[in-house]
Structure 1
Amino acid sequence: MWEEFKKFALKGNVLDLAVGVVIGGAFGKIVTSLVNDIIMPIFGLLFGGVDFSTLTYPAGAGEEGLKYGAFIQSVVDFFIIAFSIFLFIRLINRFKRKKEVVEEQKEEIKSDAKEELLTEIRDLLKAQAKADER
């Protein structure tokens, strides 16, 4: 069982996933800081200094109440994080497409050279066949 577990844990996909989780956690901290320290203060200034996280609705005597402001803050955080990840993935895909185009161009050049060489060989064989007929 131990050997089977080692094979599973050391597979490339599992290691890639682990690296992705660690990087994703770090990226999440960056985005959270971006939201809390930069975007929300600007958003608050635009809307009259409202801090969503402190908004509550009293639920009864002595209770904290419903913290709907924290929910609004979480929704805003989610959309900003989702948009940030979208932009990041879009940037990565753009670089991949450029790399693929360059590789395709290199492949076309190689294909053209091969076709040219094969055409020359064909022409030489035809010329040799004509010379043999004479």
Structure 2
Amino acid sequence: MSMFKEFKEFAVRGNVVDMAVGIIIGGAFGTIVSSLVNDILMPPIGLLLGGVDFSDLFLVLKGDGPYATVVDAAADGAVTVNYGLFVNNVISFLIVAFAVFLLVKGINRLRRQQAEAPTPPTAPPEDILLLREIRDALRKER
């Protein structure tokens, strides 16, 4: 039973819950980045390069005839090197890496600001204030 109790304490600890939320949001962010790369960035880049669709750039290693798309090649059982999809994934990675860099940079800036901000002095406890009053009263009587 103690192992179950330890696991329960571990599972409900704040860090684990925060990590789970981060993983879920990260997965959703990955979907957004994939859409950004495939649907927003790559079409104009392809147009600038003469109407090239990066997702259809591939090299046939084994198979018959020219294929128009990767899907056609896969349907025919051809073995291909899909370097266009690799380029899309590299661009997705760079976007995610840059977004994480900006996030970490912002967090570090906030931490530095908090470290630089002086903490206001706390008021001494009442017993210390009372002892000081007694001390001052004794000094006046002398």
Shorter-normalised TM range:
0.5 to 0.7
- Amino acid aligned to 1:81: V
TM-score under structure 1 length normalisation: 0.66
Q: 1:92-113, CA deviations, whole angstroms, 9 ceiling, x for partnerless residues?
A: 4334444x168x24x2x538x9
8 Å contact 2:11–2:17 — kept in the other structure? yes
Query: Cα distance, 1:41 vs. partner?
Result: 2.2
Provide closer, same or farther for how the CA distance between residues 25 and 9 of structure 1 changes in structure 2, counting only shifts above 3 A.
same
Q: Which has the higher contact order (CA 8 A, sep 6+)?
A: 2
Identify the residue that residue 27 of structure 1 maps to in structure 2. 29
Give unmatched runs, 5+ long, in structure 2.
65-77, 125-131
Identity of aligned residues (%): 47
Provide closer, same or farther for how the CA distance between residues 44 and 96 of structure 1 changes in structure 2, counting only shifts above 3 A.
farther
Q: Distance in 1 between matches of 2:44 and 2:103?
A: 22
Identify the residue that residue 117 of structure 1 maps to in structure 2. none
Q: Distance in 2 between matches of 1:86 and 1:42?
A: 25
1:1-134 correspondence runs (5 A): 1-62=3-64, 63-98=78-113, 100=114, 104-105=117-118, 107=119, 109-110=120-121, 128=139, 132=142
Q: 1:69-103, CA deviations, whole angstroms, 9 ceiling, x for partnerless residues?
A: 111211121111111221233234334444x168x
Q: After TM superposition, which residue ranges in structure 1, 4 or more long, deviate above 6 angstroms?
A: none
Q: How many residues align?
A: 116
Q: Distance in 2 between matches of 1:86 and 1:34?
A: 18
Provide closer, same or farther for how the CA distance between residues 50 and 84 of structure 1 changes in structure 2, counting only shifts above 3 A.
farther
Structure whose residues are more often strand by fraction: 2
Structure whose residues are more often helix by fraction: 1
User: What RMSD in Å do the two structures reach over aligned CA positions?
Assistant: 3.0
Query: Cα distance, 1:8 vs. partner?
Result: 2.1
TM-score under structure 2 length normalisation: 0.63
